[in-house]
Amino acid sequence: MAYEIHTIHTILMMLTIQDTFNKELPADKNTSNTRRQVLQACYSFVTPRIPSNPSVVHVSKEMAEAIGIESFELKQPQFKGIFSGALVMKGTQPYAMCYGGHQFGSWAGQLGDGRAINLGEVVHNNQRWALQLKGAGETPYSRTADGLAVLRSSIREHLCSEAMFHLGVPTTRSLSLCLTGDQVMRDVMYDGNPEYEKGAVVCRVAESFIRFGNFQIFASRKDDVTLKALTDYTIKYFYPEIKSEGKEKYIAFFNAVLDRTLHMVVHWQRVGFVHGVMNTDNMSILGQTIDYGPYGWLEDYNKDWTPNTTDRQQKRYRFGNQPGIAQWNLFQLANALFPLIGEAKPLEDALKRYIEDFTVAYQEMMRSKLGLQIEDTEDAKLIEQLEETLSLTETDMTIFFRKLADLVKEDDQEIALKKIRDAFYQPELMDDQYQDQWKEWLSDYIQRINRDSFSDLDRKALMNKTNPKYVLRNYMAQLAIDAADKGDYTIIEELHQILKRPYEDQPSNEKWFAKRPEWARHKVGCSMLSCSS
Ligand code: AMP
Ligand code: MG
């Protein structure tokens, strides 16, 4: 039964709860869990829905440790209870946040945590963590949807958040994945074929889940008081390095968010991650990857690729567009912060420098991918020509960069081409023209590494810590999902373990360092993902 009174537990799990968001910021005065517009408030109190038969599917032990949960506690019924939504921790007051956002380029008004419920904030080892259940039932922000999540999308979020963390990409984390025991109806491809799927809840963890949209909603309602309160709160806890006052403080804040966002996107481009739904409500104010929905990983290098079928026509959120969209989103954030600053110029200046700074950071990142030490005036051209050549034939991005690291200064272009051959999806179809183009680029690259001060070993070391060997390819997640649907969680654990060491050679896991199999080319969940989750 949903919305029973929750049992309050205290016995184990000595989590240090130190709530700030729901203590220092204005709450919705209406405490009924009804769908509505919520005004002059940053959040609404709401308790998770009680699952009918919860069970723990998977836990990230590193995350548990980071928030102060000991390994023996993972098996306690309290753990399952709290992180499936059945129990509410003593001293906490769960809540859903109010935010708005631009979806696919248009202002969508109030959105909010429609199926995310924040449990509270834990402080451990001087680090603040907000815990949030996703899929734990309806909230005042659920609009027309059910507040629930299915196992399929929850596995994808759980595995990918942890994988991204281990890749060194700024991200929200995932503590746990539970089944609720309830059935959830979803029409995966939006084609009129709804089916029941297993309901699930992920416990996400981050310093904060505040998004660009949290600021936008107040600006859109001309509620400068709440806007200021939220901004001051965010700076106080998450940007404490900002010491200035008045409008300078907000200008510094915008610049800091811009820097973090820029670096997050550089990381995405480095590892070949496509977010899929870069709406402003899915942009963390901390510059972390948030909301793993129809995301995907580039297999063949294609700047025009998006995994999100909902965006198939426009491809607004395609791989190559992510840097530009981040800037567009920052422009929306600038508009939202404008009332606190009252002057457009400093915001425009910041947005202008985004392009220059992004270019510099991107070039630096690409030079690391190529293992180059000394900067060379020809590098920009070398990078551009590589991107062009990579796009000519279907070439696996991840495999290509790992194989490229095997080149040595003495190689000629023929040997070099042989070394990267495994990265081509259909090497037998490469005609002379493509081969020649590749040889030309490889010959430029060989000359370039001969001019560089790095030894072959140094270069390989830099490349192999920049270019992951193991990423969560879409078909890998799908295999974990298919098995989990049948009650077998071993692939989830196997992938979780492999993806903790994405840069290391793992001889026993070579089978996951492979091109996407042919069966996955057009399969739902592998090459096509909808927002249905
Ligand atoms: P997303 O596209 O997943 O970022 O979601 C956009 C908005 O829809 C957010 O406000 C979500 O909380 C909300 N939302 C998505 N799925 C659901 C759902 N099943 N139930 C309630 N709200 C949802
Ligand atoms: Mg979202």
**In this predicted model, what pLDDT tens digit does every residue of 64-84 receive, in sequence order?**
999 999 999 999 999 999 999
Query: Residue 14: pLDDT above 90?
Result: no
- CA 280–ligand 2 middle distance (angstroms): 9
In a domain, 25, yes or no: yes
pLDDT at 18: 96
Three-state SS string over 109-141 comes to EECCCCCEEEEEEEEECCEEEEEEEECECCCCC
Pick from 97, 142, 182, 211 the residue to mutate for probing ligand 1's pocket: most ligand atoms within 8 Å of its CB. 142
Query: Residue 8: pLDDT above 90?
Result: no
Q: What percent of the chain has pLDDT over 90?
A: 92
In a domain, 510, yes or no: no
Find the mean pLDDT for residues 293-302. 96
Query: Residue 3: pLDDT above 50?
Result: no
**In this predicted model, what pLDDT tens digit does every residue of 147-195 receive, in sequence order?**
999 999 999 999 999 999 999 999 999 999 999 999 999 998 888 999 9
Question: Residues 479, 481, 486, 488: what is their CA dihedral angle, to the nearest 10 degrees?
Answer: 80
Q: How many angstroms separate the CA atoms of 42 and 20, rounded?
A: 12
In a domain, 524, yes or no: no
Number of domains in the chain: 3
Residue nearest to atom 6 of ligand 1 (CA): 111
**In this predicted model, what pLDDT tens digit does every residue of 350-398 receive, in sequence order?**
999 999 999 999 999 999 999 999 999 999 999 999 999 999 999 999 9
**Same domain membership, residue 106 and residue 120:** yes
Whole-structure pTM value: 0.97
pLDDT at 499: 98
**Same domain membership, residue 235 and residue 202:** no
- Cα angle 167, 524, 106 (rounded to 5 degrees) comes to 75
In a domain, 530, yes or no: no
Pick from 281, 295, 531, 533 the residue to mutate for probing ligand 1's pocket: most ligand atoms within 8 Å of its CB. 281
**Same domain membership, residue 379 and residue 364:** no
**In this predicted model, what pLDDT tens digit does every residue of 310-342 receive, in sequence order?**
999 999 999 999 999 999 999 999 999 999 999
Token pair in block for residue 158 = 């759980």
Give DSSP secondary structure letters for 59-77.
E-HHHHHHHT--GGGGGSH
Q: How many angstroms separate the CA atoms of 51 and 93, rounded?
A: 19
pLDDT at 527: 77
Find the mean pLDDT for residues 110-119. 98
In a domain, 53, yes or no: yes
Query: Residue 4: pLDDT above 70?
Result: no
**In this predicted model, what pLDDT tens digit does every residue of 423-454 receive, in sequence order?**
999 998 888 999 999 999 999 999 999 999 99
The interaxial angle of helices 490-498 and 151-167, nearest 10 deg, is 20
Q: What is the mean pLDDT of the chain?
A: 95
**Same domain membership, residue 125 and residue 109:** yes
Q: Which of 23-32, 189-198, 335-344, 473-482 has the lowest mean pLDDT?
A: 189-198
β-bridge partners, 284? 211
Residue nearest to atom 23 of ligand 1 (CA): 114
Residue range(s) defining the domain that contains residue 408: 373-465
Q: How many angstroms separate the CA atoms of 179 and 523, rounded?
A: 25
Question: How many helices, marked H, and strands, marked E, lie in the chain?
Answer: 16, 13
In a domain, 484, yes or no: no
Query: Residue 6: pLDDT above 70?
Result: no
